[in-house]
Amino acid sequence: MDGTLLSLLELQRLPRSCFKWGRDMQLNMNFSLMGIDGDELVTKHKICLQSLGILR
């Protein structure tokens, strides 16, 4: 991410899973302790960006 802030309209379009994923990322900055595959994190992030129309 380049640090761009999302507008309220964009945030409203995010699926609930994106908020949960973002919260999980904030709570667990050490991914290896979470046992989460890096590819899975990237995939979830792409889905969130695609839902905003940022990524095709």
pLDDT at residue 41, as a whole number: 63
Between the alpha carbon of residue 41 and those of residues 8, 18, 23, 46, 48, the distances in Å are 24, 11, 13, 9, 11
Where is 3: in which H helix or E strand? none
Q: Where are the domains of the chain?
A: 16-25+37-56
Predicted TM-score of the model (pTM):
0.28
Nearest to 12 by CA among 56, 55, 53: 53
1-39: pLDDT as tens digits: 444 555 655 666 666 666 676 666 655 545 544 455 556
pLDDT at residue 3, as a whole number: 46
37-50: pLDDT as tens digits: 556 666 767 777 67
pLDDT at residue 1, as a whole number: 44
